[in-house]
A and B are shown apart, each in its own frame.
Chain A
Amino acid sequence: MSDSIIGAGPKRIDGQRKVTGEAPYAADHHPDNMAYGYGIFSTIARGTVTGLELDAARQSPGVIDIFHHGHFPELHRSPASMPQGNKVEETRLPFEDNHVHYEGQFVALVVADTFENARAAARKVVVSYQADDNAIANLDQGVKAHGTKKGGDNHERGDAAGSFDGAAHSIDVTYTTPVETHNPMEMHASVASWEGDRLTIYESSQGVVQQRGALSKIFGIPQEHIRVESPFIGSGFGSKLWMWPHAVAASAAARETGRPVQLVVPREQMFTTTGHRPETRQRMRLATDDSGRLVSLRHESINTTSFTDQYVETCGSVTKSLYSCPNLLVSHETTQVNRGTPTSMRAPGAAPGLFALESAIDEMAHEAGVDPLEFRLNNYADRDESQDLDFSSNHIREATQKAAEQFGWHDRNPEIGSMREGHEIIGYGMAACNWEAIKRECEARVSLRADGTAHVTCATQDIGTGTYTIVAQTVSDITGLPLEKITVRLGDTSYPAGPVSGGSWTTATTLPAVAAATREAIEELKGYATSKKGDFADVDSDSLTFENGQLTHDGQGVDYVDVLKGQRLASADGHAHTQGADDRYSYRSFGAHFVEVRWDPGISNLRVSRVVSAIDVGRVINSMTARNQVEGAIVMGLGMAHFEATDYDARNARPVNNNYAEYVVPVHADQPPEVDVILLDYPDLEFNEFGARGIGEIGITGMAAAVANAVYHATGKRIRDLPIFKEKLMENVPEVQSA
């Protein structure tokens, strides 16, 4: 394998199409005779629909049909199994019955000839409800009303409770994180059309194969009759991993009306019916011995879930193995609230979990009188104690030390509020970051064509991260063809099955399959070349080599195009089916963030002014897109620390700030002037031939804690409840009696 293109930083091969507007996103598809759907969404969070006045809407211009629980085809539920390939997060079907479980739930769907007509008619529908006054608006209310239910992924070793009592130093603190909403730029959208009993659906999806499986179960038709296409996605952050009710509604409406139907989820409903990161409450109990070694660690979390499904935010997933500790307990519980079903959001579990863990480690270090950097170096685990396995490759100490050095951690004056410049107080904070490395089953097909190009297909997706490009790099690396000669097609279930684009596993999963398929194609080509009529008729095919587009034997090279043309063949094809990761090792990625914040107490302004992160994700395939993932995740983490929260009205469980103006995410002006990403780039060859572990999520983990720890250093205030709004840091805020 030549090193030239793997690890280089070529531009995205789909970049030009995207920036010129040529790349078709889901709602850019307009099949002939297409109609438009517009939803009517519940304005109560709990209760029943008791009536629908539809007359005015029916008479509204252009209306074709109006669907609701009394007028919707009978469908089936999906078993919602990822291994079976039909996972959905919300199993309840739209319009299944007249029950309302959350605000923003579909209660009706108008289909009309234009978008405007559909929306105008939708506004004329009058829905009456029997609202249940006991809508559960938040985690506290849920726990009070009906307690908690056990979630999965728990772990226990040693005696965490016993070793806590009487330990030299201990802390017992609780952290909370609010609901965060993914808010990708491109809203969820489906364009569904039927031909007989065959369904084609364009969807903004991170997982076309799973969506096909779910639709097959829901509509009771063979998978082969369904095609899901998602060639371009305006990001998803996890909200588009699994199909949501709108896609079922659009598909059913298209079948019933006999017309293709487009349904775009409005921005307000991106806050209700397409998932979110749930609210969490996490109790952390840590204890060390005299020397500051952890002797007990308990991470017990509760997250909110819907009344329709149990979603577990596995906050303690990292806690099990990041630090060495003989006595450890991780538990996950859920409580039901009247919100839509939560789902994975970038680094599910780890993002809120490491806010708690890495804040608590900081508090513990402080309590034990040890520098937080030293504390971590003293306590990092050298092997995965939760699985009793070695790590395949772990460079967290080097990452931590390198970033610390680059950041200038050692210049930190540990005294709180001691570092100042002008009006501002400077704080330094750090946190570790961590994410599991996952590799799944995958198929891919590669054709080496007689026109001198290569064509690659795989039903995974490029969600903006650069998958198209790294797939092309892989083929280029093996064949020597330049990137311009390689076409990559993804996001279509008519291609060989590929993975959901999530869990940071796309790189590790897809590239080995693409590489194997490329080699298969080369083998096929060698077969042609050594056949009777071939250019190397009497040569043993094993002694042929393939380099720079040529088959070579004994110094004699023939261009592969000529091999094919000589036999009037169109292409040499390879198909591969590769397997998921084995369990010989614990495969994880590691890293550390160092953050400088500046707090101006005179105007109560907090900003993140500097970030240095060192990340150990194995081999980097594309240095530009990889860096882009980490930088983007850092900024998202900064938003998590500082701004992001979906507010629900405690009286009725309705989301309040459901738009881009009031749901605050960082803008350009919030980018730290300096973001320095160090990619360690140690290939993890135990994991796959490329040594790559995936990079999409790790960057957000730990960021919120690093910011909070820096805030503590600057202000002496421990913010255990995200986001770190200025009022939490201000003095003299008058007390208000809550009404």
Chain B
Amino acid sequence: MREFNYARADSTRQAVSTHGRNDQAAYLAGGTTLLDLVKIDIMRPEQVVDINRLDLGGIETLDDGRVRIGALVTNTALARDERIQRDYAVLSEALLSGATTQLRNKATTAGNVMQRVRCPYFRDGVSSCNKREPGSGCAAIEGHNRSVHAVLGTSEHCIATHPSDMCVAMAAIGATITVEGPDGRREIDFLDFHLLPNDTPEREHNLKPGELITHVTLAAPLENSRSGYLKLRDRASYQFALASSAVIVTLDGDTIVEARVALGGVGTKPWRAFDAEKALKGQQISEATFKRAAEIALQGATPYAHNAFKIPLGQQAIVRNLTTLTA
């Protein structure tokens, strides 16, 4: 391992000032992404700022009904929280579908938002990869691109999926991310947080140098809604999604009053499918309606040599999820 400076912060302010605007510094939360990538020499921070002592481990319901989650709440704690299980089943299910128990016990909310892509060409340290080495090209586009590559939101510069399950649920729920940085505190809408690769795949999110995520605040739950997360993959556990859907619906009898749909495993960022939602709103529940919405959600998708199946698979993830939730 390359040597790096390690500092442990006791307060948010101290964390931010230790980190500074240094783009060679990194916050350390659970370490399941950071240390993994340090060990394989893909991330090479010179300064690591351990934030695990910060007081960001709580989950609280705000007066306006929103739920504020501290950056350090672990994936396990969040998934098992009673409010989350009751009001945001989709989030609890998404979290529990991710990784393994051991990883979820370490992984934090902010770390999950910030996790890096699983593209093997990114991780091998050798192949051309615009994310790792801007301008070097993208080995995945004409290489192996079956499981962790996207069909939505891709560009000719990068096609890696954002691998998170949790973020897909958050994209459907709606959330804001609170950050604290050298220039103070600000809020970022969850859907604006992750960036499409376009021609700058090395820029993955909207944080400015040195900004620390302190909270993720979920929009108030939709009243009388039902929600669920459906993750499709090869094996039954411990694999990133080939395609997944987060769906929230409210019904009036057989009519869909409100629907929120987001997709995982198919997009270069957690993918909110607004057009599909429009196609559902006000409709009677029926397989045909679901199928049409699913087709709309995947419209314009670009298949690559090995991942074309993700287009029908993504549609299936939506249709089955809706079918189950409205049954």
Q: In the bound complex, what is the Cα–Cα distance between A658 and B40 (angstroms)? A: 12
B309 and A669 form a contact (CB under 8 A): no
Q: Which of A358-366, A598-606, A694-702 is the interface stretch?
A: A598-606
Q: Say yes or no: is A732 at the interface (Cβ < 8 Å to chain B).
A: yes
Closest to A660 in B: B238
Per-residue CB proximity of A714-739 to B under 8 Å, as 1/0? Answer: 00000000000111001111111011
Q: Say yes or no: is B64 at the interface (Cβ < 8 Å to chain A).
A: no
Residues of B287-327 contacting chain A, CB below 8 A: 303-305, 308-309, 311-313, 316-317, 319-320, 323
Q: Which of A224-232, A493-501, A649-657 is the interface stretch?
A: A649-657
Expressed in whole angstroms, the minimum distance between the Cβ of A711 and any Cβ of chain B is 14
Q: Say yes or no: is B177 at the interface (Cβ < 8 Å to chain A).
A: no
Assuming the contacts A662-B148, A736-B308, asked whether A669 and B236 have C-beta atoms less than 8 A apart, the reply is yes
Residues of A648-698 contacting chain B, CB below 8 A: 649, 651, 654, 656-659, 661-662, 664-670
Q: In the bound complex, what is the Cα–Cα distance between A395 and B127 (angstroms)? A: 54
A605 and B232 form a contact (CB under 8 A): yes
A656 and B144 form a contact (CB under 8 A): yes
Closest to A733 in B: B309
Q: Say yes or no: is A120 at the interface (Cβ < 8 Å to chain B).
A: yes
Q: Which residues in A have their C-beta under 8 angstroms from that of B238?
A: 661, 667
| Interface core residue of B124, B141, B147 (most chain A CB under 10 Å) | B124
Interface residues on B, range: 35 or more
Choose among A602, A654, A670, A732 the residue that contacts B235 (Cβ–Cβ < 8 A).
Answer: A670
B120 and A657 form a contact (CB under 8 A): yes
A664 and B118 form a contact (CB under 8 A): no
Assuming the contacts A123-B2, A656-B143, A733-B312, asked whether A662 and B120 have C-beta atoms less than 8 A apart, the reply is yes
B124 and A654 form a contact (CB under 8 A): yes
A642 and B317 form a contact (CB under 8 A): no
Expressed in whole angstroms, the minimum distance between the Cβ of B151 and any Cβ of chain A is 9
Q: Which residues in A have their C-beta under 8 angstroms from that of B230?
A: 603
Residues of B119-163 contacting chain A, CB below 8 A: 120-121, 123-124, 126-127, 139, 141-144, 146-148
Q: Which residues in A have their C-beta under 8 angstroms from that of B126?
A: 43, 654
Q: Say yes or no: is B252 at the interface (Cβ < 8 Å to chain A).
A: no
Q: In the bound complex, what is the Cα–Cα distance between A534 and B272 (angstroms)? A: 90
Expressed in whole angstroms, the minimum distance between the Cβ of B310 and any Cβ of chain A is 9
Q: Say yes or no: is B223 at the interface (Cβ < 8 Å to chain A).
A: no
Q: In the bound complex, what is the Cα–Cα distance between A602 and B41 (angstroms)? A: 41
Closest to A267 in B: B40
Q: Say yes or no: is B234 at the interface (Cβ < 8 Å to chain A).
A: yes
A727 and B1 form a contact (CB under 8 A): no
Assuming the contacts A120-B1, A651-B142, asked whether A732 and B312 have C-beta atoms less than 8 A apart, the reply is yes
Q: Say yes or no: is B63 at the interface (Cβ < 8 Å to chain A).
A: no
Q: Say yes or no: is B61 at the interface (Cβ < 8 Å to chain A).
A: no
Closest to A666 in B: B235
B311 and A736 form a contact (CB under 8 A): no
Closest to B148 in A: A662
Assuming the contacts A602-B316, A662-B147, A733-B312, asked whether A643 and B235 have C-beta atoms less than 8 A apart, the reply is yes
A670 and B316 form a contact (CB under 8 A): no
Closest to B44 in A: A123
Q: Say yes or no: is B239 at the interface (Cβ < 8 Å to chain A).
A: yes
Q: In the bound complex, what is the Cα–Cα distance between A667 and B148 (angstroms)? A: 19
Expressed in whole angstroms, the minimum distance between the Cβ of A469 and any Cβ of chain B is 30
Expressed in whole angstroms, the minimum distance between the Cβ of A257 and any Cβ of chain B is 22
Q: In the bound complex, what is the Cα–Cα distance between A658 and B123 (angstroms)? A: 10
Choose among B143, B232, B237, B308 the residue that contacts A734 (Cβ–Cβ < 8 A).
Answer: B308
Expressed in whole angstroms, the minimum distance between the Cβ of B162 and any Cβ of chain A is 16
A667 and B309 form a contact (CB under 8 A): no
Q: Say yes or no: is A607 at the interface (Cβ < 8 Å to chain B).
A: yes
Interface residues on A, range: 35 or more
Assuming the contacts A661-B118, A730-B313, asked whether A670 and B236 have C-beta atoms less than 8 A apart, the reply is yes
Expressed in whole angstroms, the minimum distance between the Cβ of B308 and any Cβ of chain A is 5
A649 and B235 form a contact (CB under 8 A): no
Per-residue CB proximity of A61-91 to B under 8 Å, as 1/0? Answer: 0000000000000000000000000000000
Q: In the bound complex, what is the Cα–Cα distance between A658 and B2 (angstroms)? A: 22
Assuming the contacts A651-B142, A730-B309, A738-B305, asked whether A120 and B3 have C-beta atoms less than 8 A apart, the reply is yes
Q: In the bound complex, what is the Cα–Cα distance between A577 and B82 (angstroms)? A: 67
Q: In the bound complex, what is the Cα–Cα distance between A123 and B323 (angstroms)? A: 52
B1 and A119 form a contact (CB under 8 A): yes
Q: Say yes or no: is A647 at the interface (Cβ < 8 Å to chain B).
A: yes
Q: Which residues in B have their C-beta under 8 angstroms from that of A734?
A: 303, 308, 311
Q: Which residues in B have their C-beta under 8 angstroms from that of A603?
A: 230, 232, 313, 316-317, 320
| Interface core residue of A119, A662, A664, A739 (most chain B CB under 10 Å) | A662
Q: Which residues in A have their C-beta under 8 angstroms from that of B304?
A: 736
Expressed in whole angstroms, the minimum distance between the Cβ of A101 and any Cβ of chain B is 18
Choose among B118, B142, B305, B308 the residue that contacts A662 (Cβ–Cβ < 8 A).
Answer: B118
Q: Which residues in B have their C-beta under 8 angstroms from that of A374?
A: none
Expressed in whole angstroms, the minimum distance between the Cβ of B159 and any Cβ of chain A is 12
Choose among B41, B143, B311, B320 the residue that contacts A123 (Cβ–Cβ < 8 A).
Answer: B41
Q: In the bound complex, what is the Cα–Cα distance between A162 and B53 (angstroms)? A: 79
B236 and A607 form a contact (CB under 8 A): yes
B120 and A736 form a contact (CB under 8 A): no
Expressed in whole angstroms, the minimum distance between the Cβ of A667 and any Cβ of chain B is 5
| Interface core residue of A123, A649, A669 (most chain B CB under 10 Å) | A649
Q: Which residues in A have their C-beta under 8 angstroms from that of B148?
A: 662
Q: In the bound complex, what is the Cα–Cα distance between A602 and B118 (angstroms)? A: 27
Q: Which residues in B have their C-beta under 8 angstroms from that of A659?
A: 123
Expressed in whole angstroms, the minimum distance between the Cβ of B292 and any Cβ of chain A is 15
Q: Which residues in B have their C-beta under 8 angstroms from that of A666?
A: 235
Q: In the bound complex, what is the Cα–Cα distance between A123 and B125 (angstroms)? A: 11
B308 and A733 form a contact (CB under 8 A): yes
| Interface core residue of B144, B239, B311, B312 (most chain A CB under 10 Å) | B144
Choose among A602, A649, A730 the residue that contacts B319 (Cβ–Cβ < 8 A).
Answer: A602
Choose among A123, A657, A670, A735 the residue that contacts B308 (Cβ–Cβ < 8 A).
Answer: A735
Expressed in whole angstroms, the minimum distance between the Cβ of A126 and any Cβ of chain B is 12
Expressed in whole angstroms, the minimum distance between the Cβ of A288 and any Cβ of chain B is 36
Q: Say yes or no: is A165 at the interface (Cβ < 8 Å to chain B).
A: no
A116 and B1 form a contact (CB under 8 A): yes
Per-residue CB proximity of A104-123 to B under 8 Å, as 1/0? Answer: 00000000000010011001
Expressed in whole angstroms, the minimum distance between the Cβ of B240 and any Cβ of chain A is 8
Expressed in whole angstroms, the minimum distance between the Cβ of B89 and any Cβ of chain A is 19
Q: Which residues in A have their C-beta under 8 angstroms from that of B316?
A: 602-604
Assuming the contacts A119-B1, A664-B239, A734-B308, asked whether A647 and B234 have C-beta atoms less than 8 A apart, the reply is no
Residues of A within 8 A of B (CB): 43, 116, 119-120, 123, 602-605, 607, 642-643, 647, 649, 651, 654, 656-659, 661-662, 664-670, 725-727, 730-736, 738-739
A-B contact pairs, 24 of them (CB 8 A): A603-B230, A603-B317, A604-B316, A649-B139, A654-B127, A656-B121, A656-B143, A657-B120, A657-B144, A661-B118, A661-B238, A661-B240, A662-B118, A662-B148, A667-B237, A668-B237, A669-B235, A730-B309, A732-B312, A733-B312, A734-B303, A734-B311, A736-B303, A739-B141
Closest 10 pairs between A and B when the two form their complex, measured CB to CB: A727-B309, A669-B236, A669-B237, A739-B142, A656-B144, A43-B126, A733-B309, A734-B308, A656-B120, A736-B308
Given A649-B139, A656-B144, 14 additional A-B pairs, CB 8 A? A119-B1, A120-B1, A602-B316, A603-B317, A603-B320, A604-B232, A649-B143, A667-B236, A667-B238, A727-B308, A734-B311, A735-B308, A736-B304, A739-B142
